[in-house]
Amino acid sequence: MAKKQLGKMKEAVLSGGNLPRHIAFIMDGNGRWAKKRGLPRLLGHHE
């Protein structure tokens, strides 16, 4: 679903359409992923 929305935003930018005023990113699950592996929670958000 996120890829589909991102594709629509890209199309809007390239076509000169209306642009969003802001974009929010919600980091979900990365902390749980790290904790499950015995790592510090914040490490789940590093690339």
pLDDT at 17: 66
- pTM, 2 dp: 0.39
> Which amino acid is present at 26?
I
Q: How many Å apart are CA 32 and CA 19, to the nearest integer?
A: 33
> Which amino acid is present at 47?
E
Q: How confident is the model over 19-30, as pLDDT tens digits?
A: 778 889 887 788
Q: Are 28 and 17 in contact (CB under 8 A)?
A: no
Give yes or no for residue 36 having a pLDDT over 90. Answer: yes
For the chain, domain boundaries? 1-45
Q: How many Å apart are CA 31 and CA 28, to the nearest integer?
A: 7
Q: Are 41 and 31 in contact (CB under 8 A)?
A: yes
Give yes or no for residue 41 having a pLDDT over 80. Answer: yes
